[in-house]
């Protein structure tokens, strides 16, 4: 059985040794994959996964491929110049997120929804972070991260992680990438791969502040107020509407929120240094909320 139908390239693509030591089969969960002629093979269920140029394994089931087809196509189609422009426009917000998040990152850190490696660059400079890995649905984005020197990269979905149980010290996500996923399933997967007391730090855009921001900038650029269709836009529809609900989902997954801050923001302050508002009330008016979670120990571990 071969979940990946695209033929492997004749060139030789070997995964990073650290990466190979972390991977598991997404088909059966077996905690070991072997390299076999530009493919990874699960010796338990005989499923093959292709290595994509220049050395990035694609570890997805057929269901995951179908579920994420729209997201994969949209992000693969985005030009690097357009993504860089988004990074510049959101620079102050993402700097505030990164400054808060990096204080909690240490040991072996995995960034899910890593995009073209912007926060991987931050992790590489963070004291206490010993090794880093990045995962994203978009091969195009991952290849850009590779060009920036990151080698421990995986093409996969964050709600079906090809990572062994209890192997990662920190899971991070910066840039609200989890907005595009079924988060309850993603939280459970992240809790599974974290070591006991491991840290999960991530951010989510708040729905109404981001809608107002988007409407403001459309008005500035186009000279008209957008209609209700703005509520269904791809980059807004999945944004967080209730921080309390997210905390409930995190708790169900075995993750306890230990700190939560929202980035202070208004359209006119886009290029200024930003601060934070704490707690649930901050998530109602802040532009972006950052959650810091710790994996709870199971009864078996206690």
Q: How far is CA 79 from CA 72, 118, 136, 143, 185, in A?
A: 13, 15, 16, 13, 30
The whole-angstrom separation of Cα 291 and Cα 302 is: 25
Percent over 70 (pLDDT), the chain: 84
Q: Is the pTM of this model over 0.85?
A: yes
Supply the DSSP string of 28-82, one letter for each residue. T--S-EEE-SSEEEETTT--EEEEETTTEEB---HHHHHHTHHHHHHHHHS-HHH
Question: Per-residue pLDDT tens for 1-59?
Answer: 334 434 434 445 777 788 889 999 999 999 999 988 889 999 999 999 999 999 999 99
Question: What Cα–Cα distance (Å) separates residue 272 from each residue in 92, 114, 196, 214, 218?
Answer: 6, 25, 38, 18, 20
CA distance 103 to 218: 35
* Residue-averaged pLDDT of the chain: 86
CA dihedral over 245, 249, 254, 260, signed as positive or negative: negative
* Extents of the domains making up the chain: 17-59, 74-295
Q: Average of pLDDT values for 100-128?
A: 96
- pLDDT value, residue 85: 82
Quick: pLDDT tens for 127-149: 999 999 999 999 999 999 999 99
* pLDDT tens track for 204-220: 988 777 667 776 666 66
Rounded CA-CA distance 152/132 in Å is 7
**50-54, 97-101, 207-211, 261-265 — which is least confidently predicted?**
207-211
CATH number of 74-295: 3.40.50.150
Q: To 10 degrees, the CA torsion angle through 183, 132, 69, 255?
A: -10
């Amino acid at each position: 059985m071969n979940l990946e139908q695209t033929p492997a390239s004749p060139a030789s693509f070997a995964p990073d040794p650290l990466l190979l030591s972390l991977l598991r089969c997404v088909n059966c969960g077996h905690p070991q994959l072997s390299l076999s002629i530009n493919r990874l093979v699960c010796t338990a269920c005989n499923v093959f996964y292709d290595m994509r140029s220049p050395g990035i394994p694609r570890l997805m089931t057929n269901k995951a491929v179908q579920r994420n087809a729209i997201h994969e196509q949209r992000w693969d189609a985005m030009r690097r110049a357009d993504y860089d422009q988004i990074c510049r426009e959101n620079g102050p917000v993402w700097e505030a997120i990164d400054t808060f998040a990096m204080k909690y990152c240490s040991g072996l850190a995995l960034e899910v929804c890593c995009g073209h490696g912007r926060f991987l660059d931050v992790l590489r400079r963070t004291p206490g972070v010993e090794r880093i890995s990045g995962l994203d649905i978009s091969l195009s984005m991952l290849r850009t991260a590779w060009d920036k020197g990151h080698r421990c990269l995986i093409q996969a979905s964050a709600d079906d992680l090809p990572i062994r149980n209890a192997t990662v010290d920190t899971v991070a996500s910066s840039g609200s990438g989890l907005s595009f996923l079924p988060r309850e399933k993603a939280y459970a997967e992240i809790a599974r791969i974290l070591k006991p007391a491991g840290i999960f730090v991530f951010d989510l855009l708040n729905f109404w502040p981001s809608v107002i921001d988007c409407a403001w900038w459309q008005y500035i650029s186009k000279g008209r107020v957008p209609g209700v269709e703005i509520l269904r836009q791809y980059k807004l529809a999945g944004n967080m509407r209730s921080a309390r609900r997210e905390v409930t989902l995190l708790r169900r997954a075995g993750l306890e929120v230990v700190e939560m801050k929202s980035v202070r923001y208004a359209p006119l302050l886009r290029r200024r240094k930003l601060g934070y508002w704490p707690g649930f009330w901050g998530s109602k008016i802040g532009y972006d909320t950052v959650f810091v979670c710790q994996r709870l120990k199971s009864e078996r571990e206690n």
